[in-house]
Structure 1
Amino acid sequence: MDTLNSANTTVFTVVAALVVSGLILLALQMKKKSDRRWRRINLPPGPRGWPVVGNLFQFASSKKPFFEYVDELRAKYGPIFTLRMGTRTMIILSDASLVQEALIERGPIFASRPRENPTRAVFSCNKFTVNAAVYGPVWRSLRRNMVQNMLGPARLREFRAVRDSAMDRLVGRLRAEAEANGGSVGVLRNARFAAFCILLEMCFGLEMDEETVERTDEMMKKVLLTLDPRIDDYLPILSPFFSKQRRRALEVRKQQLDYIVPLIRRRKTAVETPGSDSTAMPFSYLDTLFDLKVDPASGRKTAVPTEAELVTLCSEFLNGGTDTTGTAIEWGVAQLIANPHVQSKLYEEIRSTVGGGVDGKRVDEKDVEKMPYLHAVVKELLRKHPPTYFSLTHAVTEPTKLAGYDIPTDANVEIYLPPISVDPNLWSDPEKFDPDRHTAAAGKEDADVTGVRGVKMIPFGAGRRICPGLAMATVHVHLMLARMVQEFEWRAYRPDSKIDFAAKSEFTVVMKNPLVALIMPRKA
């Protein structure tokens, strides 16, 4: 959602173009039709908008990040309100009880997705992904395959060696970077690299050298940058002005296909001819997709995915867990530096369970299961720093009501996460980073991250469309944080300086000033 900010500097130009080109007359005609339509339904309250552009101009003129603009409106209109961003109607929810009703109690109704902008549809093969598919047979087929055949506990255990190898590479990179830079390291880029290493090998079942990992990551980042919203996504009438950007998107899609399809074919050959590729692993996510049969009720012409669809599904798998994991680690390390007593307590739990990093016994996943304080730290991290400000957009499968207001099928239902996880009605001293609130002694202070036992924090969404990679993501964050604390003591880059917790939205919510930390190898 906050990528709307990338359009701030162009909105004024767009409005001027509307005026100069004589579109005001058309705007007034469209407004009359729109007003007649919307008067027939009772939408949640919200600021009045301009003809055609809706609230886009007010947002742009505020010169604020989208989440700050939403915060201001929330203070005025309450926990449910409406924004009209061009042709899109957004209904913003920011209250735990409303989210509980929508996503948990009435989950099937709120389980769909809205229409996509044309650029995103190119990369998603017209919603042929787990996250983008509308609620129906395609979504059920894709999600069932991912969860049952790839992300179940037994299957995840098969990739334990991949995770151990990535953790060793992470520690080695941190040591080398610290030695070259007087002890300082960049946290986010190293955490992202480790997460991407894991996902790349899980996806394609092929061992990758560091150069290949980095080239593939650059390709994926190029795709994400291309998906940033443009003004014509909200005002399709302006699409003739963006032909150059559309051509660029098609070029990037071709580059993505040219890069990923050979990896897909290489894996297919390895599966069909065992032993032909010495780097091939026994199993991969891609293997589950080669013979995937999509529910015939979907009306698809082909039952199995095409090569272009395989590229899209692999890209979704890679992108879904890279930035979220890397971001979580960056915020986690920042909190450990700002709260040294938490870092000390966590290290003592690691030492008492497996020993310090110099003892030769590295933390593994079985050890992580025996570390309740580590789990409390990660849960508090996800409460204070959910990966995104907004969960993926929802849409209703049929017209319905919520809080007495109408929710039409073509509205974007946006779940604004931060107010929920810092709600003083749900949490005591919510601004404090306090892992102890999630321990057994905390009682009612603890929370279920899935929202099933009540919505208090939902960093992975909730209900039917909860992130299917939740279990995998938490394994990665727990293991990475444990290894990093076992091997190193983490300190502020400038002694006695305070960590700047200012945030900004990129692909996820990251630190506005990327975290650079000093690391000290642990001593016996």
Structure 2
Amino acid sequence: MSFLSFSPISLDLLSSNVFLTILAIIISGLLKTITYRKHNSNHLNLPPGPPGWPVIGNLFQFTRSGKQFFEYVEDLVKIYGPILTLRLGTRTMIIISDASLAHEALIERGAQFATRPVETPTRKIFSSSEITVHSAMYGPVWRSLRRNMVQNMLSSNRLKEFGSVRKSAMDKLIERIKSEARDNDGLVWVLQNSRYAAFCVLLDICFGVEMEEESIEKMDQLMTAILNAVDPKLHDYLPILTPFNYNERNRALKLRRELVDFVVGFIEKRRKAIRTATVSSFSYLDTLFDLRIIEGSETTPSDEDLVTLCSEFLNAGTDTTGAAIEWGIAELIANPEIQSRLYDEIKSTVGDRAVDERDVDKMVLLQAVVKEILRRHPPTYFTLSHGVTEPTTLSGYNIPVGVNIEFYLPGISEDPKIWSEPKKFDPDRFLSGREDADITGVAGVKMMPFGVGRRICPGMGMATVHVHLMIARMVQEFEWLAYPPQSEMDFAGKLVFAVVMKKPLRAMVRPRVQ
């Protein structure tokens, strides 16, 4: 969920041909690199980390480990501590896995740590001159875009206006699950259904126009293709390989053009509806047409900028929300007594009518369940990459401009110094008063599924509304059971835009007797 959340790294390296290329690069760059690093080591006291090779840094060590990146980082934290340095080609990462350091950096000294690193060349193709909320550098453009999104779309009053959109999407979700269960002896794929429901809600809120099923599927395919395209590749860490990336760059440019051509049609449809006063609802797009990108200027977003901002809005809240629902249903299957208690709370609160989002505030167990889902299964392993606006220090180490600062979320939300039995799914920890956490981080960082500080996810309120409502409706309508019966849940995860279950969850549903 992070409503605006993407992976800082997901590499698939190295083929033998690429490795030979890297060896050639090492030989040609060896003397230059040694001289450069020797010179700079006299001036910088970076956090500790594994020694790397010239030019490629720790890339080869990571790929040789055979681990996912978060697993590799977990091993390094045990050796080097809660703040460490990792070099991946030309990119230097400072990885932080300590709650107090996260609070100091992002809350106490938020302005210093509020910018973003420079985007990769492929991402720039899709970011339209960095006119995005999530990747814009800290400054007037970012302030304008974020202020518009928060004030005009994500305020509590505005969220309430979209209640009918969410109700319609939830009704369709329940019908999709019923239909799939009828056709498959009670079996349903959880992630596919939950992410589709989240996507439909965001489409309606973003464009304010009703789309045919074919258009929804086309839009979803394009959004997924974009996320695949911007996933970091080897040349992003070794720019010297960029000349070998000609075909990939052309594919990215072609995809961008296809996206623009497709989405501009819906933009024009909405623009015409506003011009002719035939609109009966509000949309995110409405707030962007006349937005001054920099306050006081006359510059408004171009059509390409509008495509970028709408794409960001859709991509940011679809896979992360779907993943949260998949993990949540898996935990409720593995903990049937909690599922039973949650159903009882829903039943006692609303009776036989469908759960409405206005009921959420009355259901304390539901709130605790969702908070525990976000603690145990944050939507990403890392927040969006941060950068510093000026050279500074943290924990006695130098933090130079230009490095990627990555906050490793499980290192915080599973820290035994903060949480009792951190690996256990236990919503009661939030009910008994034994433990609690302010997920905004203002009162102290103990978990940060949406990030914290100035770059906290602006869609946190919307995302939590969606997760609460989807979990409540799905538990109200169905009892969720393991498949095959009595089998154990496999809680291994993997990163696919968001952190999803490595073995996708296919569950058995049994309709409740209303």
| Aligned position for 2:361 | 369
Q: Cα deviations across residues 38-96 of structure 1 (Å, max 9, x unaligned)? A: 33111001111111111111111111110111111111100000011111110000000
Contact 1:8–1:63 (CA<8 Å) still a contact in 2?
A: no
In structure 2, how many angstroms separate the alpha carbons of the residues matched to 1:472 and 1:3? 23
| Aligned position for 1:289 | 288
Query: Match for 2:14 among 9, 12, 15?
Result: 9
1:177 Cα shift? 0.1
| Aligned position for 1:442 | 433
Could you say what secondary structure the match of 1:430 adopts? coil
Contact 2:10–2:231 (CA<8 Å) still a contact in 1?
A: no
Query: Match for 2:42 among 36, 39, 43?
Result: 39
1:267 Cα shift? 0.6
In structure 2, how many angstroms separate the alpha carbons of the residues matched to 1:2 and 1:150? 25
Contact 2:387–2:402 (CA<8 Å) still a contact in 1?
A: yes
Greater RCO, 1 or 2 (C-alpha within 8 Å, sep 6+): 2
In structure 2, how many angstroms separate the alpha carbons of the residues matched to 1:422 and 1:306? 44
Matched letter for residue 342 of structure 1: I
1:13 Cα shift? 3.2
Query: Match for 2:370 among 358, 371, 378?
Result: 378
| Aligned position for 1:425 | 417
| Aligned position for 2:199 | 196
| Aligned position for 2:76 | 73
More displaced, 373-382 or 212-221?
212-221
Contact 1:111–1:465 (CA<8 Å) still a contact in 2?
A: yes
Contact 2:7–2:498 (CA<8 Å) still a contact in 1?
A: no
Call closer, same or farther: CA 1:193–1:507 in 2, change over 3 Å: same
Matched letter for residue 192 of structure 1: R
| Aligned position for 2:321 | 325
Could you say what secondary structure the match of 1:8 adopts? coil
1:143-158 alignment, distance < 5 Å = 143-158=146-161
1:523 Cα shift? 0.8
| Aligned position for 2:476 | 486
In structure 2, how many angstroms separate the alpha carbons of the residues matched to 1:130 and 1:487? 37
In structure 1, how many angstroms separate the alpha carbons of the residues matched to 2:374 and 2:67? 25
TM-align CA RMSD: 1.4
Contact 1:31–1:52 (CA<8 Å) still a contact in 2?
A: no
1:99 Cα shift? 0.4
* TM-score, normalised with respect to structure 2: 0.97
Contact 1:107–1:463 (CA<8 Å) still a contact in 2?
A: yes
Aligned length: 509
In structure 1, how many angstroms separate the alpha carbons of the residues matched to 2:29 and 2:358? 65
Q: Cα deviations across residues 308-338 of structure 1 (Å, max 9, x unaligned)? A: 0100000010011101110000000000000
In structure 1, how many angstroms separate the alpha carbons of the residues matched to 2:45 and 2:133? 32
Query: Match for 2:442 among 452, 456, 466?
Result: 452
Misfit runs of 4+, over 4 Å: 1-5
Contact 1:324–1:387 (CA<8 Å) still a contact in 2?
A: yes
Contact 1:178–1:185 (CA<8 Å) still a contact in 2?
A: yes
Query: Match for 1:314 among 310, 329, 334?
Result: 310
Call closer, same or farther: CA 1:490–1:437 in 2, change over 3 Å: same
Matched letter for residue 284 of structure 1: S
Contact 1:493–1:518 (CA<8 Å) still a contact in 2?
A: yes
Name stretches of at least 5 consecutive residues in structure 1 with no aligned partner: none
Could you say what secondary structure the match of 2:433 adopts? helix
In structure 2, how many angstroms separate the alpha carbons of the residues matched to 1:86 and 1:396? 20
Name stretches of at least 5 consecutive residues in structure 2 with no aligned partner: 1-5
2:249 counterpart of 1:246? yes
Could you say what secondary structure the match of 1:369 adopts? helix
In structure 1, how many angstroms separate the alpha carbons of the residues matched to 2:158 and 2:34? 54
Contact 1:2–1:67 (CA<8 Å) still a contact in 2?
A: no
* TM-score, normalised with respect to structure 1: 0.95
| Aligned position for 1:28 | 31
2:341 counterpart of 1:341? no
Matched letter for residue 160 of structure 2: R
Contact 1:170–1:191 (CA<8 Å) still a contact in 2?
A: yes
2:212 counterpart of 1:221? no
1:14 Cα shift? 2.5
2:193 counterpart of 1:160? no
Contact 2:440–2:456 (CA<8 Å) still a contact in 1?
A: yes
Query: Match for 1:467 among 457, 467, 486?
Result: 457
| Aligned position for 1:175 | 178
| Aligned position for 1:303 | 299
Call closer, same or farther: CA 1:160–1:5 in 2, change over 3 Å: closer
Q: Cα deviations across residues 283-326 of structure 1 (Å, max 9, x unaligned)? A: 100000001012258xx8x6101110100000010011101110
In structure 2, how many angstroms separate the alpha carbons of the residues matched to 1:181 and 1:24? 58
Contact 2:187–2:506 (CA<8 Å) still a contact in 1?
A: yes
Matched letter for residue 319 of structure 1: N
Contact 1:3–1:505 (CA<8 Å) still a contact in 2?
A: no
- Percentage identity across aligned positions? 59
